[in-house]
Structure 1
């Protein structure tokens, strides 16, 4: 697509509401987000879903905005689509709000919009409305994006962090910690070179396949900020249950394990952007994992532990040498901070 805005940067005039604002919206956003529900009016008029609806909002301020495996645009779609999917909801509509720093390259902004277009198409969700603001130099770190998503909850599906039950199997849909490790290395603070790519991915179709295989699901949660370890502590608290993990069963890519070893980090506490924790009765677990192995973003899915009635609110891990250790409860500043 020919774009006359190449080699330009975003100026304060692009946020003033006049001609330049219209140019920015038309040539960057509308050009990539075009669909029958995208509105030029003050609000989109939509057909509501049948039955129950899930709604989620998330803000994205990742630094750097471009990283191996994605950028802030792809992330802004995946994050909200995945939050809806965790409630068993098929994503239907998204709105997005941009806050752009004066001087941000127009070429980079279009790259972000193109990633959003591609990811939304893959997820089957329509961007229907948005907002654009320009902040002065130094007021924003490049670009911030907030997305709100609406989805239709599938019939017969009821999941939530308070529904975990003793005897449930704990499944993770792939190797953990890759996004957090990628962001850490992309900042170049440590001078470590490792071939690590973010797991950032839209997961609705993965969840859909699991739902099609069984409705006997208790918890689905995406392990974003704080990683799998933080999510497990959250669920243990919500459901008042204990969590027992087997360290040997937790999938970690060798390159992530190597970086974590050098820096003294625990992969379970590093962010994922394409991984979910699923809790379901043990009788369903092998079937769920078999389904996950056939999906593109969950080929390393594994059963990593079980829910117990003992030690409610705690996460205990059986180590590789057979001893049991209490996984430290997350607190303070989680590193690397991803948002």
Structure 2
């Protein structure tokens, strides 16, 4: 029986290691059955499985479909948890951050170890995520990521280790923590909710490619990406610098009306147009490139994809990145 104080939690399973077990054919592990939430008194749990994929198979189209699904679930639930593979979890979290304008808490989690390992971290992460999703202080914060007891903002969270159970981090660190030392979990936030714009493309029709800078790069692969894509993101060096040979290429692309966003391959910090040598950040911006602010390259790609799919011009896109309207 559903009472007036019963909390309603939707758990959306999408696959990943948290749902994985050794394959019947003996070749590695594959997504099969996700864990269920237990230890939530006074909660009615609604499980859904829109798809069951390893996270490298998740596309932006899956992410947008997930956003639409959650938008429909939010009015009828007090919280939503999404289980997801860790390889692209931060990208799904950020796409939801950009496109999902609900006040209902949405929390993503997963696991680093599969169900038949003795130290499977899936059930603990799922229970933590459920408690955070149903906590009143989680409302209005946008999608969150909960992993290893830490609570992260979707804009800054990133996977920082390939195998460790505390695989998620990102500067400036978690915005909260959940501890389950006693019978009542303690959810604590270190930051206030912030107002944020959301964007609502019907589909992600734009193609955006990422290029990775390195010492001695003279533009290999640039022309092909420029031709195929509607816009490009370059994971540049340091504060957003490139070898001199890239300056005329970026100027050509920007002059043709296609946006080129400059992110950094460094693990943390903003892109700042400081240097005036050929290929330095100041010369790239003068040539028409757009600094990515503090977004890493794969999150900058998603924002650029959303804006291009909405038909935004290069100058409108520049304004969004410069003002941090995300």
Higher relative contact order (CA 8 A, sep 6+): 1
Q: Same fold (TM over 0.5)?
A: no
TM-score of the two chains, using structure 1 as the length reference? 0.28
